[in-house]
Amino acid sequence: MPITKSSVILAIESSCDETSAAVLKDNKVYANVIANQTIHEAYGGVVPELASRAHQQNIVPVVAQALAQAGVDKSEINAVAYTQGPGLLGSLLVGSSFAKSLALGLGIPLIEVNHMQAHVLAHFIDEPKPTFPFLCLTVSGGHTQIVRVDDYLQMNIIGETKDDAVGEAFDKTAKMLHLPYPGGPLVDKYAQTGDPLRFEFPISDMPDLDYSFSGIKTAVMYFLQRQTQKNPEFISENLHDICASVQYTLIKTLLQKLEKAATLTNISQIAIAGGVSANSGLRKMMTEKGLEHGWQTYIPAFEYCTDNAAMIAIAASFKLNTEDFAQNTSSPNPRLAF
Ligand code: KG4
Ligand code: ZN
């Protein structure tokens, strides 16, 4: 177990449009409160200025609810953790300012956490936990990475997207289909009763272990333009098959490189993480690939796929162990890489 001494960590996540606070006590999640910001739906995407204002409104009640749910008093907290980046600068600033003030006020250590590293480390919240080394396909709205994980805090990106993230491809497809934001989960929902082989979309041909998702986005756009010119009802009449076919192409693209990475590294412990790891098609195909290749696969619980503070807390627990504390002065870094 990573933590040997008794500890209570309060963690805050505010990198995008979810305000979340979690309480981790002796390595166990006692609360993981998430406030979703519905205001962005009207704009078809996250509006940074509105996101940071909503974080300002949510942060105090979300933290209070997390502490109450965990039955923990402020005086019992040993460390405050927060998402340092990557993310929207205004959103990060709300979480970091709150965390810094609280740590300063309570006179306890402050721990900075990299958001993408936390997505990977979410695998250490529940059983079964992966052993090192393992590969993690980290797929979210802003990132698509294949990460080689050699230890809790020792990881390297061995492949990544050179343009759009796969979550963005899901969300943009949804937008073109006139579905509300965030559309990824809706594409998933309609895909479940559609034919994945009905329409064919291109798989990008990137070198090494890298990805590209801008091509498929453009291909879907031109495809829909052509089809709706011929039949204005094309989208509504074929929604399920379009979603299934696009999703199938995106997952096939993701898994092709993941298989290549497993072969190149000779690692057979394979995990997925990030918002898109909630996708039912990806979860199913990962399980199938595991059986086909003899992989040990790790698929996170739904509550730890999309943005949440529990993953920030578990990542912070490893830093608490090594006393890797932040100076309580720096400003957030929106483009931080690990
Ligand atoms: O990790 P996350 O919550 O936030 C970022 O760090 O970006 O990921 C959000 C992304 C969005 O693009 C959202 O549409 C996508 O994850 N997503 C899904 C599903 N659930 C969330 N995409 C496809 N299928 C899902 N079920
Ligand atoms: Zn995320």
Query: What residue ranges do the domains of the chain occupy?
Result: 8-121+305-321, 130-300
Tell me how far the alpha carbon of residue 170 lies from the centroid of ligand 1, in angstroms. 8
pLDDT of 164 > 90? The answer is yes
Tell me how far the alpha carbon of residue 141 lies from the centroid of ligand 1, in angstroms. 5
Which of 180, 185, 250, 251 is CA-nearest to residue 219? 250
| CA–CA dist 131, 123 (Å, integer) | 10
User: Whole-angstrom distance between the N-terminal and C-terminal Cα of the chain?
Assistant: 23
Tell which one of 17, 160, 176, 306 to mutate to probe ligand 1, the residue whose CB is within 8 A of the most ligand atoms: 306
Domain spanning 8-121+305-321: which CATH class is it, in words? alpha beta
- Going by CA atoms, what residue is nearest to atom 13 of ligand 1? 184
| CA–CA dist 215, 286 (Å, integer) | 24
- Going by CA atoms, what residue is nearest to atom 7 of ligand 1? 141
pLDDT of 334 > 80? The answer is no
| pLDDT tens, residue by residue, 3-60 | 445 799 999 999 999 999 999 999 999 999 999 988 888 888 898 999 999 999 999 9
Give the SS3 label for residue 114: strand
Which amino acids bring their CB within 6 angstroms of ligand 1? 16, 140-142, 167, 170-171, 182, 184-185, 188, 274-276, 278-279, 306-307
| CA–CA dist 281, 293 (Å, integer) | 18
Per-residue model confidence (pLDDT) at position 268: 98
CB atoms within 5 A of ion ligand 2 belong to: 140, 307
Tell which one of 13, 140, 186 to mutate to probe ligand 1, the residue whose CB is within 8 A of the most ligand atoms: 140
Q: By percentage, how much of the chain surpasses pLDDT 90? A: 88
Which atom of ligand 1 lies nearest, measured to the CA of 307? 3
* pTM of the shown model: 0.94
Identical fold at 8-121+305-321 and 130-300?
Answer: yes
Task: Please state which of the four CATH numbers 3.30.70.2190, 3.90.1150.10, 2.40.50.100, 3.30.420.40 is assigned to the domain occupying 130-300.
Answer: 3.30.420.40
| pLDDT tens, residue by residue, 241-277 | 999 999 999 999 999 999 999 999 999 999 999 999 9
| pLDDT tens, residue by residue, 227-245 | 999 999 999 999 999 999 9
| CA–CA dist 210, 257 (Å, integer) | 7
